[in-house]
């Protein structure tokens, strides 16, 4: 090896060592900041996912969620969100509750038992990014939680964290699917995890068979316009289509049916995040108490809750719709 080649080799090894150190630091720091899993992949355009998303939108499976048509280029290309992006860091945070709500009351999705996860995870992401900058240097990075144009489940699969199940959720072999997904896009080069190449749903169709509104289609396609979560959270019109009457299985806000029946969720463990501790009212309210709830009480009790997304009027609409 000549002197020039040796010099390049030394620089290359030094670069690899630095990337490994940065990667190890980020994964350790992610755990310290309260995330349960961390995976990293190369920032690149998601061509296959772009094709699937476009096909899904063209079939109208997004219903009235017009915002999903916006920023298409940003959804499939991380460099449009962070110029010079090199790495996509995916983080999972468990929200599985220790206690379930009153069995006979109008049902609420478990993700909404505690405080609004957007605010909780945004704070954790900011802390993590600050720590990375302290260790690595003045890098560029942005954190995203659900509401931004990011295909987080695709990045999670590419980062080796799990596979996308027939119900459209990311499923981990270790603990199932009751996780929030956060994404951190940075312009620092890191050591990348192998993608999760296999899926372990096999011939199981429990989620498809159990869906109350038949929103889960073959080939991991979800008709969002038929999903109970869509009707009870995203739909802003005051009238829910009459054809859906008696199909909500008492779900008032969101729906967990496809996750509750998934065999992989027998491995779910209790979340230790204090902010996700269930509100007593969500656990214990009866149908009568929900019926008698005033707007003033709603705003006070659920001021930090995901339920405020539907607003008081939406909750009352949903409550009326699921009752006989």
Closest alpha carbon to 207 in 265, 258, 260: 258
Q: Which of 24, 73, 130, 146 is catalytic?
A: 146
Q: What sign for the dihedral angle of Cα 163, 309, 230, 210?
A: positive
How many angstroms separate the CA atoms of 135 and 91, rounded?
19
Residue 94: which residues within 8 A CB-CB, separation 6 or more?
Answer: 36, 175, 178, 179, 268, 269, 270, 271, 272, 273
**Contact between residue 92 and residue 184 where contact means Cβ atoms under 8 Å apart:** no
- Tell me phi and psi for residue 261, to 5 degrees: -90, -10
Q: Using CA atoms, how far apart are residues 239 and 48, in angstroms rounded to an integer?
A: 36
C-alpha dist (Å) from residue 95 to 26, 110, 124, 242: 22, 8, 14, 33
Kindly give the residue spans of alpha helices, DSSP state H, lying in the chain. 3-32, 47-58, 72-76, 117-136, 152-158, 206-210, 228-229, 257-260, 280-284, 287-292, 295-301, 311-322
Q: How many Cα atoms occupy the beta-carbon half-sphere of 4 within 13 Å?
A: 0
Question: What is the rounded distance in angstroms from the CA atom of residue 57 to the CA atom of residue 23?
Answer: 36
Regarding beta strands 107-108 and 221-222, do their DSSP bridges make them parallel or antiparallel, or are they unpaired? unpaired
Q: Is 146 a catalytic residue?
A: yes
Which residues are annotated as catalytic? 146
């Amino acid at each position: 090896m000549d002197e020039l080649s040796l010099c390049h080799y030394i620089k290359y090894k030094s670069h690899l060592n630095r990337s490994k150190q940065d990667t190890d630091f980020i994964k350790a720091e992610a755990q310290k900041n309260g995330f349960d899993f961390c995976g990293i992949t190369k920032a690149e355009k998601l061509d296959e996912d772009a094709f699937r998303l476009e096909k899904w939108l063209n079939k109208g499976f997004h219903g009235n969620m017009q915002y999903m048509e916006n920023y298409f280029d940003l959804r499939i290309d991380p460099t449009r969100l962070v110029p010079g992006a090199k790495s996509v860091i995916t983080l999972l945070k468990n929200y599985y509750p220790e206690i379930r709500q009153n069995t006979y009351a109008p049902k609420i999705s478990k993700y909404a038992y505690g405080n609004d996860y957007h605010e909780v995870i945004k704070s954790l992401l900011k802390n993590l990014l600050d720590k990375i900058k302290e260790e690595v240097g003045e890098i560029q990075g942005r954190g995203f939680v659900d509401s931004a144009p990011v295909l987080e489940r695709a990045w999670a699969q590419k980062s080796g964290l799990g596979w996308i199940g027939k119900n459209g959720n990311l499923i981990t072999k270790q603990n199932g699917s009751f996780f929030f997904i956060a994404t951190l896009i940075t312009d620092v080069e890191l050591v990348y995890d192998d993608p999760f190449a296999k899926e372990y749903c096999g011939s199981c169709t429990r989620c498809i068979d159990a869906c109350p509104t038949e929103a889960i289609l073959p080939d991991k396609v979800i008709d969002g316009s038929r999903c109970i979560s869509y009707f009870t959270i995203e739909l802003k019109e005051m009238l829910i289509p009459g054809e859906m009457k008696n199909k909500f299985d008492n779900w008032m806000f969101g729906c967990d049916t496809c996750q509750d029946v998934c065999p992989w969720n027998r491995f779910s463990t209790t979340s230790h995040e204090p902010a996700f501790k269930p509100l007593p009212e969500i656990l214990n309210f009866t149908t009568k108490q929900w019926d008698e709830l005033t707007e003033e009480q709603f705003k006070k009790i659920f001021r930090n809750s995901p339920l405020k997304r539907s607003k008081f009027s939406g909750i009352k609409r949903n409550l009326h719709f699921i009752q006989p």
